[in-house]
């Protein structure tokens, strides 16, 4: 494929060389450049691809696509290379990737999901329903990429556009007819899904998260980028109970379907009943609106009722049968999302991904409604992120848990105890009891070792993650593995202290 063919669809100027040269591949990371490839210089929050032209030259790159001419350009000969200038290299990468992989999104129904909370669970629900209805489905999101049951790990909820299109091509080649994709606000802002025509877009909810250094400047910007999903959709599916749902629809001239708990929605539950029996912790619901049927959801909490409504709305829109919907929702389990871990004791242990105040509040309120003896909440907060999140999570746990265990959770480059001090500041706005145990493994041991009858212990924040970020490094840390190790250790101890 020639450079000109790759650049079809975007405006550009050839500064040097010519655009008829053949290109072997597209690369956006200078460490991965190969001979005869096109290197796209991406300006990021941490580094700038324009700084690595010399490395690209040394590796035999044929073309460089950039959005500004760096000073060091004059210091590098670049004799054999074509240089192209475009307005936005992130969009250029997306367009080039779409052309390189022959627009795989046009061969499948791609469903995009955005929102502060619920993206992952909703995506799993939709995938499960489509597969129960006999439709091979791929998925891209927080927990990785899936082609059927095959898992491909990912570093981002919405990976860079080249990776998105590569995965879509792989899914199309594997016979997928549908793809469910989590679309983060950062993914939209950084043009990672630019050019994809979504068969449907879903908005779950929005709250004041992901605002701060390296994320969004303010809530208005966050809301704006969430709403941009609907510029690329054939139909929108919206949670109408959200305060800002009208803002999400503003300026978009596509049909919208609405879900919620009020009878004016296209899809709503007129009754929701909590179910707790034989290890089943979930909901029984009665659907009304455009269709009517009853179903059970194998995950607890009102927020999962909303996730299920979003999934049902999408499934009905794409013609899935009620029986497929009911079967999939009854059997749905999502790793690290309100996930009950079997224990040999008269207490419950749950792993959940709640890592901000809104999701933690929803989780703890939901657990309280099941009337446990105590709620023990173990959590930490990420480093190099908004300090407000730490105060807020401390306050929420102090209000809604009976006992909190403050520990680590991806401290990154920040001192752990500085993060915990911020959490404590929020805790001190309540009368909540807490203990600080910096090591998360030690904290988990403490929570299980000293569990009381009727306790509901929730390990919040890590969810499905199998790593911990500390001092600039990512180390293996699977909460699921650690829990099993601790349960065996305690079972072999001579006596369990209370």
Write out the binding residues. Answer: 30, 115-121, 157-158, 184, 192
Residue of 377, 381, 447 lying closest to 415 (CA atoms): 381
Helices and strands (H, E) in the chain, number of each type: 15, 24
- Cα separation, 119 vs 157, in Å, equals 10
Which DSSP category does 498 fall into?
A: -
Cβ neighbors of 444 (< 8 A, separation 6 or more) are: 378, 459, 479, 482, 483, 486
Which residues are known binding-site members for ATP? 115-121
- Residues 353 and 124: beta-carbon distance below 8 Å: no
| Adjacency order of strands within the sheet including 144-147 | 150-152, 144-147, 137-141, 178-182, 109-114, 200-203, 236-239, 256-260, 267-277, 280-289, 293-297
Q: How many CB atoms lie within 10 A of CB 13?
A: 9
- Cα separation, 50 vs 27, in Å, equals 13
Q: How many CB atoms lie within 10 A of CB 225?
A: 19
Instruction: Provide the phi-psi class of 287: left if phi over 0, else alpha when psi is between -120 and 50, else beta.
Output: beta
- Cα separation, 80 vs 101, in Å, equals 26
- Cα separation, 200 vs 126, in Å, equals 12
- 3-class DSSP state of 330: helix
- Cα separation, 271 vs 13, in Å, equals 60
CA angle (120 as vertex; 347, 101 as ends), nearest 5: 150
| Adjacency order of strands within the sheet including 26-27 | 12-16, 82-86, 63-66, 38-40, 26-27
Residue of 322, 358, 315 lying closest to 122 (CA atoms): 315
- Between the CA of residue 158 and those of 113, 120, 144, 164, what are the distances in Å? 11, 12, 10, 8
- Residues 14 and 89: beta-carbon distance below 8 Å: no
Please name the residue that has the structure tokens 């999934």. Answer: 311
Strand pairing class (473-476; 82-86): unpaired
């Amino acid at each position: 494929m020639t450079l000109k063919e790759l650049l079809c669809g975007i405006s550009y100027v050839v500064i040097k060389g010519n655009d008829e040269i053949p290109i072997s591949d597209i690369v956006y990371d200078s460490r991965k450049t190969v001979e005869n490839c096109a290197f796209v210089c991406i300006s990021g929050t941490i580094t700038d691809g324009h700084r690595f032209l010399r490395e690209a030259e040394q590796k035999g790159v044929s073309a460089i696509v950039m959005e500004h001419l760096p000073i060091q350009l004059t210091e590098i000969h670049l004799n054999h290379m074509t240089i192209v200038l475009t307005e936005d290299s992130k969009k250029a990468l997306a367009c080039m990737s779409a052309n390189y992989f022959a627009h795989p999104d046009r061969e499948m129904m791609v469903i995009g999901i955005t929102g502060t909370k619920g993206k992952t669970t909703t995506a799993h629900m939709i995938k499960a329903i489509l597969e129960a209805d006999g439709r091979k489905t791929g998925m891209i999101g927080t927990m990785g990429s899936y082609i059927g049951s095959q898992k491909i790990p990912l570093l981002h909820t919405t990976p860079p556009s080249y990776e998105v299109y590569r995965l879509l091509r792989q899914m199309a080649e594997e016979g997928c007819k549908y793809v469910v994709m989590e679309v983060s606000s950062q993914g939209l802002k950084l043009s990672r899904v630019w050019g994809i025509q979504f068969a449907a877009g879903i908005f779950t909810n929005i709250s004041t998260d992901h605002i701060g250094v390296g994320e969004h400047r303010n809530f208005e910007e966050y809301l704006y980028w969430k709403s941009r999903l609907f510029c690329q959709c054939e139909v929108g599916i919206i949670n109408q109970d959200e305060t800002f749902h009208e803002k999400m629809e503003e300026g978009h001239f596509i049909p919208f379907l609405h879900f919620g708990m009020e009878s004016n929605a296209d899809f709503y539950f007129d009754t929701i009943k909590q179910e707790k029996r034989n290890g089943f912790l979930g909901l029984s619901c009665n659907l009304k609106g455009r269709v009517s049927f009853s179903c059970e959801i194998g995950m607890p909490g009102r927020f999962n009722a909303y996730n299920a409504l979003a999934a049902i709305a999408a499934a009905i829109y794409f013609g899935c049968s009620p029986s497929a919907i009911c079967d999939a929702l009854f059997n749905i389990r999502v790793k690290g999302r309100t996930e009950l871990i079997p224990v040999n004791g008269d207490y419950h242990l749950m792993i959940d991904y709640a890592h901000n105040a809104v999701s933690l509040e929803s989780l703890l309120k939901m657990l309280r409604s099941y009337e446990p003896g105590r709620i023990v909440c173990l959590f930490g907060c990420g480093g190099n992120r908004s300090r407000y999140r730490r105060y807020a999570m401390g306050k929420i746990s102090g209000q809604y848990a009976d006992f909190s265990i403050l520990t680590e959770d991806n401290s990154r480059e920040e001192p752990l105890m500085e993060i915990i001090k911020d959490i404590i500041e929020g805790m001190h706005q309540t009368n909540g009891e807490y203990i600080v145990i910096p090591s998360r493994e030690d904290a988990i041991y403490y929570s299980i070792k000293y569990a009381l009858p009727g306790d509901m212990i929730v390990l919040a924040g890590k969810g499905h993650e199998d790593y911990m970020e500390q001092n600039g490094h990512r180390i293996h840390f699977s909460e699921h593995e650690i829990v099993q190790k601790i349960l065996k250790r305690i079972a072999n101890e001579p006596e369990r202290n209370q």
